[in-house]
A and B are shown apart, each in its own frame.
Chain A
Amino acid sequence: MVMKNANSALLAKNANYLQIDHRVKNVMGSKEVIVLPSPAAWEKFAWTRKYFEEKPKEGYFIWVRKQPSAPLSTCVTIASKKVSQNLRNLAVIEKGIKAQANVVCNALENNLCGRHFAKGKLILKDGVSLEYNHLHKWGQKDFVSPDYDFVLGKNTKLIYNYKNLFPPENLNLKTTIFAGENSNCILNFVVNGQNSKIEIKDSVFLEGENSNSIVRLRLVGKKKSQISAISKIIARAPSRGHLDCQGLLVDKFSKISLAPELVCENNKAQITHEASIGRISEEQLTYLRMRGLSEKEAIDLIISGFLEK
């Protein structure tokens, strides 16, 4: 479902766009894919301004004009102490293209006290199919706030995998999907909270006829984490949607709040949800310990199973 952590170094090396702190280290486009820092795109392509809304200071612009031969990749890293990034990212994928994007945002060390703000827009034109793998890996003192909009044209398909096994101290993750006619989107959010305050807000607007969406949240609360997730589907057209929110509370000092919300504005739409928050049972733990795993190994195995479910 999602790329493995070990791949992040490789991704950074071969990234279409690599930024470390505020420095753009690599911009690698091709004849099919135009890659620019966002400020340069604002200057060069006037049409991008309606998406950026204001002149960006940093971030990346990716314009997939023709079918690319390899997956797209970006990497934005914090490597120094007390860096505050403020990114404006824009990706536009032209009609009928099938693409994969591997996007890494991370901190190189655990105690950099960095701030990472990212406001992004992804425009999927008609017939586009995109698998977007978004991998976060942060230090324990970072503050991270990504806010991404995905605009899905007719007959598009989006698989969005957000995975964060090393969350920052504070994470505000906002994701909004505008689903056009016949579009199909699957969102998977996997967050392993450890000593973190996490707020997740995802909203899917089913605006086009026959659009459909499945949203899966898998949230683990451990080591005094406070996790709050509001997951919402708003059906405005004859469409289908399902929310599947599950939490696993590992220690007694953590808290998970899950709020699935369904708003139906069309009487031909069908939207459903399921939500649950569970715990690791003593029986499961003992069983795995009787297979030779230590208590910690047993908990980790159960958590990894839960997150991959």
Chain B
Amino acid sequence: MLKVKNLKAKVEEKEILKGVDLEIKRGEIQALLGPNGSGKSVLAQTISGNPKYKITKGEVFFLEKNITRLSPEKRVKLGIVSVWQTPPEIKGVKFSSLLEKISQKQTEAEKMDFSNFLERELNVGFSGGEKKISELLQVLALNPKLVIFDEIDSGLDIKKLQKVAKIIKKELVEKGVSILLITHWGQILEFLKPDWTSVMVDGKIICKAKDFRKVLKTINKYGYEKCKQCSAC
């Protein structure tokens, strides 16, 4: 479904992605771990078409189509949706106005008992947990084929994390949506059990393994740099 080939990208002349290869199949859950600043979020944003990040080399394919130069809105139409780690506040714009614009169907918000969100300004004064729920509701409204979650688990206590994971499972995983989970503490992996787990260090994916527990164990014991040598790969 998604194929990233030798992707290099820079922001303001600084190269962040230094040749990333990644493949996600239909209905697959992949986790991407890595230390702060390793390029995980840049990879998510580049796959989604954020014009801030300039692709200098490599290609991105989605459903066999080369989308390397496609605008972000066209990628959404194809089915790629990403959840922002820190979504910007947009004053005056009601959450419901955005949902109405992007959704063909009745909003999931009412169904999931988040209707109190609807009249609030988009992301304005939202707590960490509320931001994640807001992002998730937008994702569901967009009917995606691939969702990239950038640190969906940060700022959530265990109870909220469980709730979010339950929604992801029911509304996305069980419906065959592919998922790329970017995280650096890994707890959400226990709930969603990825098919593959990769590790990114300094703009490159250095390890890909089936068993996320082994990867986490290695990282905890030796740090990210040792991933290459671990027995999980």
B28 to chain A minimum Cβ distance, whole angstroms, is 22
A302 near B50: Cβ-Cβ < 8 Å: no
Q: How many B residues touch A, CB cutoff 8 Å?
A: 28
* Chain B neighbourhood of A290, CB < 8 A: 48-50, 72-73, 76, 81-82, 84
For A292, give the chain B residue with the smallest CB separation: B76
A302 near B102: Cβ-Cβ < 8 Å: no
Q: Is B1 an interface residue (CB 8 A)?
A: no
A297 near B101: Cβ-Cβ < 8 Å: yes
CA–CA, A309 to B94, complex, Å? Answer: 10
Q: Is A282 an interface residue (CB 8 A)?
A: yes
CA–CA, A224 to B174, complex, Å? Answer: 51
Q: Is B90 an interface residue (CB 8 A)?
A: yes
* Most chain B beta-carbon contacts within 10 A, residue among A281, A287, A293: A287
State which of A281, A291, A308 has its C-beta within 8 Å of the C-beta of B98: A291
Q: Digit string of B47-76 for contact with A (CB within 8 Å is 1, else 0)?
A: 011111000000000000000000111001
Given contacts A286-B50, A286-B52, A305-B97, contact A292 B77 (CB under 8 A): yes
CA–CA, A288 to B89, complex, Å? Answer: 11
| Chain A stretch 251-309: residues in CB contact (< 8 A) with chain B | 281-284, 286-295, 297, 301-302, 304-309
CA–CA, A18 to B154, complex, Å? Answer: 60
A302 near B88: Cβ-Cβ < 8 Å: no
State which of B49, B52, B98 has its C-beta within 8 Å of the C-beta of A288: B98
* Chain A neighbourhood of B138, CB < 8 A: 291
* Chain A neighbourhood of B73, CB < 8 A: 289-290, 292-295
For A286, give the chain B residue with the smallest CB separation: B50
CA–CA, A302 to B94, complex, Å? Answer: 10
Q: How many A residues touch B, CB cutoff 8 Å?
A: 23
For B93, give the chain A residue with the smallest CB separation: A305
A284 near B88: Cβ-Cβ < 8 Å: yes
Q: Is B156 an interface residue (CB 8 A)?
A: no
CA–CA, A283 to B88, complex, Å? Answer: 7
CA–CA, A72 to B149, complex, Å? Answer: 53
Q: Digit string of B3-38 for contact with A (CB within 8 Å is 1, else 0)?
A: 000000000000000000000000000000000000
A287 near B84: Cβ-Cβ < 8 Å: yes
State which of B51, B84, B121, B142 has its C-beta within 8 Å of the C-beta of A292: B142
B84 to chain A minimum Cβ distance, whole angstroms, is 7
CA–CA, A95 to B9, complex, Å? Answer: 70
Q: Digit string of B75-114 for contact with A (CB within 8 Å is 1, else 0)?
A: 0110001101001101111100110011000000000000
CA–CA, A305 to B91, complex, Å? Answer: 7
For B141, give the chain A residue with the smallest CB separation: A291
B72 near A301: Cβ-Cβ < 8 Å: no
State which of B48, B82, B88 has its C-beta within 8 Å of the C-beta of A281: B88
For A291, give the chain B residue with the smallest CB separation: B102
A309 near B91: Cβ-Cβ < 8 Å: yes
CA–CA, A259 to B49, complex, Å? Answer: 40
- Interface pairs A-B: 9 shortest CB-CB: A305-B92, A305-B93, A309-B92, A292-B76, A289-B72, A290-B72, A283-B88, A289-B73, A306-B92
Residues of A participating in the B interface, judged by any CB pair closer than 8 Å: 281-284, 286-295, 297, 301-302, 304-309
Instruction: Please list 29 pairs of residues, one from A and one from B, whose beta carbons are closer than 8 Å in the complex, sorted by A's number.
Output: A281-B88, A283-B88, A286-B72, A287-B90, A288-B90, A289-B49, A289-B72, A290-B49, A290-B50, A290-B72, A290-B73, A290-B82, A290-B84, A291-B138, A291-B142, A297-B101, A301-B98, A302-B90, A302-B92, A302-B93, A304-B92, A304-B93, A305-B91, A305-B92, A305-B121, A305-B122, A306-B91, A308-B92, A309-B91
